[in-house]
Amino acid sequence: MDTAAAEWTAPPDGRTGRRAGRRVGAWAAGLLFLGVGVVVGCRVADTDGITPVPQFLAFLPWLLVPTGFGLLLALYARWWFGVVWAVVLLGLLAWFIEPYGKTGQPGGRPLVSFRVLTSNVEFGQATDALVAAVRREKPDLVFVQECEYTCDARLRKALGTDYPHRAAQVAAGSAGSVILSRFPLDPAGPADTVTGTMAMPGAVADVRGHAVRLQLAHPMPPLPGHVDLWRRELGELRDFAVADTRSPLIVAGDFNASQDHAAFRRILDTDLRDAARLTGHDRTPSWPADTTPAFGAQIDHVLLSTGLSARAARFLDLAGTDHRALLVDVTLHQRG
C-alpha cells in the first residue's frame, strides 16, 4: 500500500515536464505566426485590411522580431511545421522590406534648385522649434501641418518678412495647415486642391519663372473606425496626382501612411517619387519622434513628379512634436 501511494504521488519526471514546455512553446509560436501571418497576408494581397492591420502594417519591418522569437520557440518545441511557417514569414518580410516606388531621376538640363521643408508641429506645440529650424536651414518652401491659430500668428510674426507668400487654411487643433513660400504663389482653385477632414491647401509657385504646383498632404490617420476615411483621403491625393501631369508637382506633408500601406503605394504608382527613397533614406523613421531613429515608421514624405529631382534629404528633430521634419534639396529640370 505504501509503495503504491508513493508511486501515485511521485512528481512527473523531467521528460514529462519538457514535453509540457514544448507544447506551451508550440502554442505560443503558433499565436505569434498567426498574428504576423494576417498582416503579411494583407501585404501579399496588396490590401490594408481592417483594424488593426493598417496599424501593424506601419511597422512591418519590426514584425521580424516576433517572427524570429516564434522561430526559436518552434525549434525548442521541435514543431517542424512551425519552423517552416516561420521561415516563409521571414522570407516574405525580407522581400517586402525592400524599398517601393520609382527611382529614376530626370535627365534634362537643371533649371533651378530650391529647398523644401515639411513639418507636423502637433497642435502648434513645435512652432518655436520650427521657426528656429527655418531660420537655420533656410528652405524656400515650408509645408506646416497641425498649425492652429496661435501657430499661424507666430509664423506670421517671425517669418512673414522672409516668407511673404502663403497658402493657408487655419483651424483649431490638428485641422489647420499652412504653406509658406519665398516664391510668389497663385492660390489653387477649388477644382485644383484636395479636400479632407483636415486642411490640405494647395497653390502654384512661380519658381523663378517656372510654375510648380504645390499640394500639402494631411489625410486622416488610420484610427479604429476611421480606416475607410483614411483610405478615401489617400485615394483623393492619388487622383489629384494623376489629374494633371503637365506641370511639375510637389506633394508634401504628413501622409499618415508608409510604403507598407497599399493606399500609399497607389500614390507611388503615379508619376510621383519619394524624395527620401531617391536620396537613400527610404526606411528612416519620422514618427513617433520619441523612439526615432531606433524605432518608428516613415509617414512624413516629400513626393516629386517627373521633372523634379532630389539631391539630398535630412530628417530633423524638433522639440514639442511627435514627428520629425523632413528637409529636401530639390532641382527642377527642363522637360524633354
Give domain limits for the chain: 2-97, 110-333
Ranges assigned E (strand) in 121-248: 141-145, 165-169, 177-181, 185-187, 202-207, 210-217
Distance from C-alpha of 275 to C-alpha of 256, rounded to nearest angstrom: 16
Burial of 60 (0-12, 13-18, 19+ CB in 10 A): buried
Nearest residue to 114 via CA among 216, 208, 191? 208
Per-residue pLDDT of the chain (336 residues; tens, 9 = 90+): 444 444 445 455 667 877 888 899 899 999 999 999 999 999 999 999 999 999 999 999 999 999 999 999 999 999 999 999 999 999 999 999 999 998 887 878 999 999 999 999 999 999 999 999 999 999 999 999 999 999 999 999 999 999 999 999 999 999 999 999 999 999 877 667 898 999 999 999 999 999 999 999 999 999 999 999 999 999 999 999 999 888 999 999 999 999 999 999 999 999 999 999 999 999 999 999 999 999 999 999 999 998 999 999 999 999 999 999 999 999 999 976
> Is there a contact between 76 and 83 (Cβ–Cβ < 8 Å)?
no
Class of CATH domain 110-333: alpha beta
C-alpha dihedral (36, 41, 43, 45), degrees to nearest 10: -170
Task: Report which DSSP code applies to 198.
Answer: S
What pTM was computed for the model?
0.92
Q: What is the pLDDT of residue 7?
A: 46
Distance from C-alpha of 14 to C-alpha of 20, rounded to nearest angstrom: 10
Q: What are the b/e assignments for 1-37, b being 16+ CB within 10 Å?
A: eeeeeeeeeeeeeeeeeeeeebeebbebbbebbebbb
Q: What is the pLDDT of residue 187?
A: 84
